[in-house]
Homo-oligomer: A and B are copies of this chain.
Amino acid sequence: MEQKSGTQSVQDALKKFKALDEKITHFSSIVGLAEWDQKVMAPKKGRNVFAKAAGTLRTEVFKLSVSNEMGDVLAALSTPENDHVLDTVTKAKVREYKTYYQKSKTIPAELFQEYSILTGQANDAWEEARDKNDFTIFLPYLEKIVDYKRKFAELFGYEDHPYDALLDEFEPGLTVKVLDPLFAKLRESSVKLLNRIQHNGQKTRVEIFAQPYSVEKQKEFNHYILPIIGFDMDAGRLDETVHPFAQTVNIGDVRLTTRYLEHNVRSALFGTIHEAGHGMYEQHINQEFEESVLQSGTSFGIHESQSRFLENMVGRSKEFWTYFYPALKQYFPVQLADVSLDDFYRAVNTVEPSLIRVEADELTYNLHIMVRYEIEKALIAGEFEAKDLPEIWNQKMQDYLGITPPTDTEGVLQDVHWSFGGIGYFPSYSLGNLYAAQILRTIQKELPEFKSLIKNGRFDVIQEWLRVNIHQYGKLYTPNELIVKVTGEELNADYLVEYLEEKYSEVYSLEDK
């Protein structure tokens, strides 16, 4: 009898859980569409009022996710006797909601309210500070945000380092203990490699990008390559925004944006390929996960691995341009008249220390992240305070990249992340590169013809491998489970270090170390 009533209650809980999951996913899908629309389509006069409408729906999603009903259902599905009745897929769904529910519940409502208001105001202060190159305008907000984040870390709890509690929001399960040696190795090898390139590298013909490239032609070329590299245009779109992004409405509706600059042809080109990497991840998720919380990439880092894999490992490879360069030359016959394939390949792989993260090349990009990671970690641990940031920032830029920002606008104020409280976010970008290189190693083992597939435009074969091995799973596995499943081992920095060494030795004709 008890057994039966137990089973009964699992069935009940599952039914309620499914209904909640579906409603939350439906509402989130609409919120996603609304966000895309407001950035890409909406006329300006309606946006303020619409933001309130979207806020109402977002609040509804939050309320459902932390409702008593959700709490009861999660509790019912988490009892030891019920837990082992659940299948893997349901367990993963419960895990996702439980993490969010528990985190939200540990923060007192009042504290969360204050924090939400603060981050709302902080964005304006950050914009003003950046525009006026005056860190002190942003400082009081940043100080408070750091205070809150330190409090949250204590409330969420952690084993070794308070920053772990924040990292976990972006890369579930990741800790400083794991990340420190990975990033240290990457940083040291990158600094050395950069040095060698700067002192012994043969110059590339990067000046070919200083010419004007017609925006209309750029658009045509971007729309031309997108389906070839595997993005399904019947399940997505490509539009224009100042800040490119990928937005999922559902598996059959993934929208990319890019930015066309007449005097920077690389911006749209690699931006589009990057976003397409994010987009295809989402397009390839198992349709059985549709209308559920699993219908999305598993973490910021894994997501970024897919965009960077496509942008850099594929899109900046010699083979990629062996396939696409003849077409590109047809679009820009004047600009590329005397530019050989090799010239072009080397030019798109130019390494140049620069101040702004989002404009950095594949090698120095990680050094920008190291600056931010080390700052965030120490800041949360209380090793220094927000007021010390400009000085520390500039010192680290000098140490790793050999340049010192002349202004805070081009230094510590350049990124939006801290203003919305996204401390713990930055590591995802370099994690993406680490994951990508490790996946590249595996793919090259399993598809020995990898390079020739790219050279022959058989991106479908590569995407199919990614779909089967990574994309289809959505949030079924945690990032760590997934990387072990795909590559047979935990995250290892050696692959990225070797990849960068090998690539730039060739691009810059470096002598042996």
Q: Roughly how many angstroms separate A60 CA and B64 CA in the complex, as a whole number? A: 13
Which of these, B33, B43, B232, B252, contacts A233 with CB under 8 Å?
B43
A30 near B46 with CB under 8 A, answer no
A50 near B37 with CB under 8 A, answer no
Q: Mark A228-272, 1 if CB is under 8 A from B, else 0.
A: 000011111100000000000111111000000000000000000
A22 within 8 A of B: yes
Q: Roughly how many angstroms separate A381 CA and B250 CA in the complex, as a whole number? A: 46
> Chain B residues near A50 (CB, 8 Å)?
29, 33, 249-250, 252-253
**What's the dominant secondary structure at chain A's contact region?**
helix
Q: How many chain A residues touch B (Cβ–Cβ < 8 Å)?
A: 40
> Chain B residues near A49 (CB, 8 Å)?
29, 250-253, 290-291
> Chain B residues near A60 (CB, 8 Å)?
60
> Chain B residues near A249 (CB, 8 Å)?
42, 46, 50
Q: Roughly how many angstroms separate A385 CA and B421 CA in the complex, as a whole number? A: 66
Q: Mark A33-50, 1 if CB is under 8 A from B, else 0.
A: 110010001111111111
Q: Roughly how many angstroms separate A409 CA and B465 CA in the complex, as a whole number? A: 50
A27 within 8 A of B: yes
CB within 8 Å of B: which of A54-72?
Answer: 54, 56-57, 60
CB distance from A64 to the nearest CB of B (A): 11
CB contact under 8 A between A253 and B42, given known A22-B56, A291-B49, A291-B52: yes
Which of these, B34, B235, B236, contacts A30 with CB under 8 Å?
B34
A357 within 8 A of B: no
A46 near B291 with CB under 8 A, answer no
A residues at B contact (CB < 8 Å): 22-23, 25-27, 29-30, 33-34, 37, 41-50, 52-54, 56-57, 60, 232-237, 249-254, 290-291
